[in-house]
Amino acid sequence: MIVLALMLAIAVALFYLIVFQTTMPGSWKFALCAIEMIAFNQVLIRRYKMPSELGLVLLKSKKGIEAIDKLARNEKMFNFMADVGSTMSYGLLSLHYMKKNATWKSVLAGLLMLGFLTFFVTPVALSFLLYIIGLGSAGKSIGSASGLSDGGMLGAGFLGALLLVGGLFLLVTFGVIYYGLVVFKALVMTVFFGTNAIATTNPGGDILLPGVNLPFFEGIAALIVVLAVHEVCHAVLARIAKIQVLSSGIVLFGIIPIGAFVEPDEKKLARLEEGKRTRVLVAGPTANMLSAGLFFILFMAFFLPTADLRHGVLMASSGLPSGTLVYEINNVSVDQIDFEKFSLPGNSSVELLTNRGEIIKQTNESGEMGISFSLTEAGSIFSRYANPFLQSIYVILGLCLALNFVVGTVNILPVPLFDGYGIVDANIKNRFVVKAIGYGTLFFFVLNFLPRFFQ
């Protein structure tokens, strides 16, 4: 145990040095940290024979199973939650998926919650992600992919019909396929016509990683909440369906806890009748979407009364990566700068504190950095708290809101390894159709991320 404790201390110290004491690019930090975590995991797996899967260490405990069994006693509540989530996820299609379980109460509650998520939670969740990771114009591509940007009332009516008929499943799948076609066209133009179209196309999505494009500690905290909520609700509905939960615990990537897990008996789960199996599978995304609604309320309850405690920011429109927010210039808050009289000395270095870390820019002889800004007031979601503790709470609440929403909606896509694929598999008997839907959607899903590798 002494050797293990010493190794753990060295791993923590090395991780701290890489993340917080070096000025290398974020991608390099991520690569070095990943190598360290993989090496540490291998030591735990090979030397200490710790259980693992896909190279990740699994810390298993029976206490988690006991807690899940206690929650499963609330059978009616959790079954109703899953039925509501089915309507949120699949709209009126849920009457087919849940034909033996759907009631007018669950359908009505699901449609109301779907409207709440669409009109209130979604704009805040996506805006907060823009604030944190600088989606910038990628945020615009989300809008255009959904068909809202140019379609006017016709586009809104089409989206409304998609939501009503197929819920978030149909809407998100449509968006993924639509923007996948946009990327595919850009790829064809690049490969066959020699243009630079793929490099100038915004990605339709991004991989979210703490320490890279998410704040490290706040990102880890939010991801633990998101994954724990998701997995626990899967397990509770599995127990209600009389499926044994074989194990539960925490997943470790080196020294970093990246989530929770439960392990139901997959063979028995596959033999469940369609309605019960759908309930088990839809429970995870449902828990995330309902959690997004809860964190939306908590986020707004924190955000609205504290406007006076926040500082405004500058949003870069050119000269810096899209979506960059500037909080301070040469250690002076932008709120304290009179930009009508503000000037910088020529041929000097300027320190910019941004949502992407500290950026150093050089001025020319006239004192210009070649950057265009627009000022965002303190009441905006893009503003920043002066107090670091309040800022940390703000980020954790916002990330719990945004990541619950993203994980919940993405997981209902009919992509292999996602819950949505299992639901399609449970309700469509034709194996060819199931695979065509699954791997077709996977193709377009991957295309959405492709432009990032050309930038």
The model's pLDDT over 291-338, given as tens digits with 9 standing for 90+, comes to: 999 999 999 999 999 988 888 888 887 888 767 888 888 888 887 888
State the total domains in the chain. 3
**383 found inside a domain:** no
**433 found inside a domain:** yes
Output the pTM of the full model.
Answer: 0.82
Residue 199: C-alpha distances to residues 139, 183, 204, 320, 357 (Å):
17, 10, 13, 17, 24
Average pLDDT, the chain: 85
**389 found inside a domain:** no
pLDDT digits (tens, 9 = 90+) for 103-162: 889 999 999 999 999 999 999 998 898 778 764 433 333 333 333 444 455 567 888 888
What is the reported pLDDT for 315? 82
What is the reported pLDDT for 97? 64
Long-range contacts of 70-78 (CB under 8 A, 24+ apart): 71/232, 71/236, 72/236, 72/239, 72/240, 75/240, 78/233, 78/236, 78/237, 78/240, 78/283
Same domain, 87 and 229: yes
Tell me the one-letter amino acid at 36: E
Could you give phi then psi for residue 58, rounded to 5 degrees? -110, 115
Higher pLDDT, 207 or 239: 239
Same domain, 114 and 228: yes
Give the lowest-confidence range in 80-89, 330-339, 360-369, 394-403: 330-339
**382 found inside a domain:** no
Same domain, 358 and 211: no
Q: Give residue 337's domain range.
A: 313-376
Question: With bands split at pLDDT 50, 70 and 90, how would you rate the model's confidence at 259?
Answer: low
Higher pLDDT, 179 or 213: 179
Same domain, 280 and 152: yes
**235 found inside a domain:** yes
What is the reported pLDDT for 20? 66
Higher pLDDT, 395 or 246: 395
